[in-house]
Structures are given as structure tokens and as C-alpha cells.
Structure 1
Amino acid sequence: MNQATGWALLIFSGVLDVMWAFATKKSQGMTHWGWGTFSLLLLAGFVIALSKALSVLPLGMAYAVWTGIGAVGSVIVGAILFGEPLTATRISYIAIIVIAIAGLNIGSAENPAG
């Protein structure tokens, strides 16, 4: 597998992670078996995709990107689908997450061995 495929799998895994968080919320503490089952399937899917991506991508960078996709995506899904507040403060912190991930990427490009 090449790195482009690894990044595609990583992004796919991040999207599955957001979907997993949504399904887990909808399962209401795993009391709704349909959503609970779907949640577990999504969990398995994102772990498999993430593990395949990590076979070709650097751990620190890949995990930071994956976590960022999950964090930012979950905030957006929560705001759109569950009416959770999306205040200026929350948007600012989302921007900080994105900037931090970009900074890690820039740092990796400056020092590929480290």
C-alpha cells in the first residue's frame, strides 16, 4: 500500500469514527439494539481502516489527523443533528485543533526523520 492510499484510509477511518459517535449517541447507552449494533460495526470498521493506514503512515501525524477529524466532525454533527451549541468560543477551539494539526504536518515536513 502506498501513502496516498494510507491517507485515504485514514480519512475514511476518521469519518467512520464520527459516524460511530453519532450511532453511539443514538443507541442511548446501548439500549437500542439496532443503533448499538451499528455502533459496534462502525467501531470495528474504523479500527481496521486506522490500523491499515498506520501500516504506511507515521504514527504521530496520522493519529493527530485522525483524532482531529473525529473531534471536529463530532462537534459539527452534534451541532447540526442534536442542536448542540456552536458558539464563537467552540468555533475558535475547533480552529485551534485544525491549526495544531497543520503545524504538526509542517513540522514533519521540516524534519522528515524526526
Structure 2
Amino acid sequence: MNWVILIIAGLFEVGFASCLGKVKQTSGSEMYYWFAGFLICLTISMLLLIKATQTLPIGTAYAVWTGIGAVGTVLMGILVFKDPVSFWKIFFISTLIGSVIGLKAVSN
């Protein structure tokens, strides 16, 4: 169950990184809404990470949480924010995904 919580925490990390990207692209009241989304996603992500680390090793949990956030944020950038795509970007994202899966496989 804590692995599910950790995955959800990683998805909220993608949410707060994406909101942060929108904060810098907007102005006025819209900027404040994105900033509020950033704070909400940040809080939920951290609380879920704390919950997951009560039973999972901190090193593994943090690495998986960061990996999910990194992969998700890059994919969000490509799909939503129209960031450029290259072979090397996809290659290294793939190796990161493999590393996260590997950490899950070798942890107790």
C-alpha cells in the first residue's frame, strides 16, 4: 500500500512542478491560482512522502519519488508545454524509468 502512496506522492510532485511552470507564464489573478495549486500539490506530495517513508526505506522512497516527479515533469513539458523532444531526452528518461523500476524490484 505504501508503494501506491509513494506513486501518488510522485504524481503530486509532477503537479507542483507543472503549476510552478504555469506561474512563470501567467500574470495577475491567474498567476495566484497556479501558485495556490503549487502550494496544495506540494503539501499533499510531502505529506504522502512522509507517510510512505514510515515503512519504506528513506533512500529508496526518495529516489523513486524524485524519479516519478522527474519523468512525469519531463513528459508534462513535452505533452502540455510543447518542450522540444530529442532522441537523447527520450533515452535518458527511459533509463530513469528503468532505474526507478529497478529500485522497486530490489527493495524489501
Partner residue, 2:81: 82
- Give the residue type in structure 2 aligned to 1:14: G
Partner residue, 1:23: 19
Distance, in Å, in 1 between the alignment partners of 2:63 and 2:53 is 12
Query: What do the CA deviations read for 1:57-81 (whole angstroms, capped 9, x no partner)?
Result: 1112111111110010000000011
Corresponding pairs, count:
105
Distance, in Å, in 2 between the alignment partners of 1:53 and 1:30 is 34
- Asked if structure 2 preserves the Cα contact closer than 8 Å seen for 1:30 and 1:36, the reply is no
TM-score (norm 2): 0.87
Please list, as runs of the form range in 1=range in 2, the aligned pairs for 1:1-114 lying within 5 A after superposition: 5-28=1-24, 32-108=31-107, 112=108
RMSD: 1.8
1:55 CA displacement: 0.5
Q: Radius of gyration: which is bigger?
A: 1
Three-state SS of the structure 1 residue aligned to 2:20 is: helix
Distance, in Å, in 2 between the alignment partners of 1:42 and 1:29 is 18
Query: What runs of 5+ residues in structure 1 fail to find an aligned partner?
Result: none
Distance, in Å, in 2 between the alignment partners of 1:70 and 1:34 is 21
Distance, in Å, in 2 between the alignment partners of 1:78 and 1:60 is 27
- Asked if structure 2 preserves the Cα contact closer than 8 Å seen for 1:24 and 1:30, the reply is no
Query: What do the CA deviations read for 1:25-73 (whole angstroms, capped 9, x no partner)?
Result: 1111895111111111111110001000100111121111111100100
Deviating runs (4+, > 4 A) in structure 1?
none
- Give the residue type in structure 1 aligned to 2:33: G
- Give the residue type in structure 2 aligned to 1:45: I
- Give the residue type in structure 2 aligned to 1:50: L
